[in-house]
Amino acid sequence: MAKELVMGIDVGGQSTKLGVVNEEGEIIAQTVISSLQEELIDYITELTKAIKTLIADTAKEGKVKGIGIGAPNGNYYNGTVEYAPNLKWSYDGHGNPTIVQLASLVKSFTNLPVTVTNDANAAAMGEMAYGVARGMKNFIMITLGTGVGSGIVINGEIVYGHDGFAGELGHTIAIRDGRQCNCGLKGCLETYCSAMGVRRTAQKILSQNPDKPSLLREVDFETISSKDVFDAASKGDEIAVEIFKTTGQILGRSLADFVKFSAPEAIVLFGGLAKAKKFFHDDMVAAMEENQLQIWKGRIKILYSSLKDSDAAILGASALAW
């Protein structure tokens, strides 16, 4: 009898990672495609082609019985991606984010059951089952990538809310009347503590200090990336270090607010930007403690994902399909 397998898909703002997972929680095959398509049909065509290729490649290992997808603004109840500002293929003909029936579209091309959740919720599920949050029943997962996502676990269960969208901590207001966010609001945490937020902070600090030398002045101003800032900070660049210091301080203040909401045992940080932790961790923790109520001071653990790259999100998404 063929072994049962499932597929987990992690939809990010830049790329989509797919993996086939066995009953032991091992990713036995994976691949990646771009998420930057502007037309929905182009994205779905490329996605379903990758799905079918992975299914064929793992046919000797077992049979894929279902697909779980973690996506920005993914709605667990409806199987939809709704008004996701960082996914161009989710925009309508007027240039506005809209509702995409992602589960039903993928199912129509693959004839497999498909379940969708928020990408950060998927990462939280993966971390709870296989990572640093194993055994925890109360924690918050923060994904620091193209945007800022979050998955909130209370009493061992993901918090979905009445409509499936609970936990949009990336769109809590970090700076009142601050930077314009793609979601339409101003001052969202995402505009400061995501990869895009680091770029905007870099551009601001460089503009405010025109006479201060920096390795970042060798990079095109409009296309500075968080990796450019990381590389410069690794070489001791003062402006790059200041950029991460500012990012950490803003993130820490927001984490203090999140603790007040759900009293987690730990906050787990995940995503590309978390790899720069040595440049923002201390400032983040100091800001969190400074803005923390006495009952939680020094008691909330800050952990970093132990799962490589996007494994947490792939594994968590795959858990939806068992």
* Whether residues 61 and 38 fall in one domain: yes
- Other residues' Cβ atoms within 10 Å of the Cβ of residue 223: 8
Q: What percent of the chain stands above pLDDT 70?
A: 99
> DSSP E strands: which ranges in 155-265?
157-158
* Whether residues 95 and 24 fall in one domain: yes
Please report which confidence band the pLDDT of residue 119 belongs to, taking 50, 70 and 90 as the band edges: confident
Does residue 224 sit within a domain?
A: yes
Ranges 18-22, 285-289, 313-317: which has the least confidence: 313-317
Does residue 220 sit within a domain?
A: yes
Please report which confidence band the pLDDT of residue 306 belongs to, taking 50, 70 and 90 as the band edges: confident
pLDDT at 309: 63
* Whether residues 10 and 105 fall in one domain: yes
Question: pLDDT tens digits for 221-242?
Answer: 999 999 999 999 999 999 999 9
Does residue 59 sit within a domain?
A: yes
Ranges 119-133, 152-166, 289-303: which has the least confidence: 119-133
pLDDT at 68: 97
* Whether residues 29 and 85 fall in one domain: yes
Domain count, the chain: 2
Please report which confidence band the pLDDT of residue 130 belongs to, taking 50, 70 and 90 as the band edges: confident
Residues pairing with 279 in the sheet: none
What domain range includes position 197? 135-304
Closest to 145 (Cα-Cα) out of 13, 286, 264: 13
Does residue 130 sit within a domain?
A: no
Cβ-proximal residues to 53 (8 Å cutoff; 6+ apart), any chain: 31
* Whether residues 165 and 285 fall in one domain: yes
Residue 190 in 3-state DSSP?
A: helix
Q: How far is CA 16 from CA 35, 37, 197, 227, in A?
A: 6, 11, 21, 19
pLDDT at 321: 94
pLDDT at 202: 98
* Whether residues 178 and 36 fall in one domain: no
* Whether residues 66 and 155 fall in one domain: no
Per-residue pLDDT averaged across 194-206, rounded?
97
Does residue 259 sit within a domain?
A: yes
Alpha-carbon span 322 to 159, nearest angstrom: 20
* Whether residues 297 and 315 fall in one domain: no
- Asked if the model's pLDDT at residue 310 lies above 80, the reply is no
Question: pLDDT tens digits for 90-109?
Answer: 999 999 999 999 999 999 99
Per-residue pLDDT averaged across 162-191, rounded?
95
* Whether residues 54 and 161 fall in one domain: no
pLDDT at 1: 66
Q: How far is CA 128 from CA 45, 140, 275, 285, 310, in A?
A: 32, 10, 20, 23, 14
Residue 14 in 3-state DSSP?
A: coil
Instruction: For residue 93, give the CATH number of its domain.
Output: 3.30.420.40
* Whether residues 77 and 169 fall in one domain: no
Q: What percent of the chain stands above pLDDT 90?
A: 89
Please report which confidence band the pLDDT of residue 129 belongs to, taking 50, 70 and 90 as the band edges: confident
* Whether residues 141 and 287 fall in one domain: yes
What is the strand order of the sheet 4-11 is part of? 27-34, 15-21, 4-11, 63-71, 114-118
Per-residue pLDDT averaged across 253-278, rounded?
96
* Whether residues 19 and 87 fall in one domain: yes
Per-residue pLDDT averaged across 274-302, rounded?
97
Question: pLDDT tens digits for 5-41?
Answer: 999 999 988 999 999 999 999 999 999 999 999 999 9
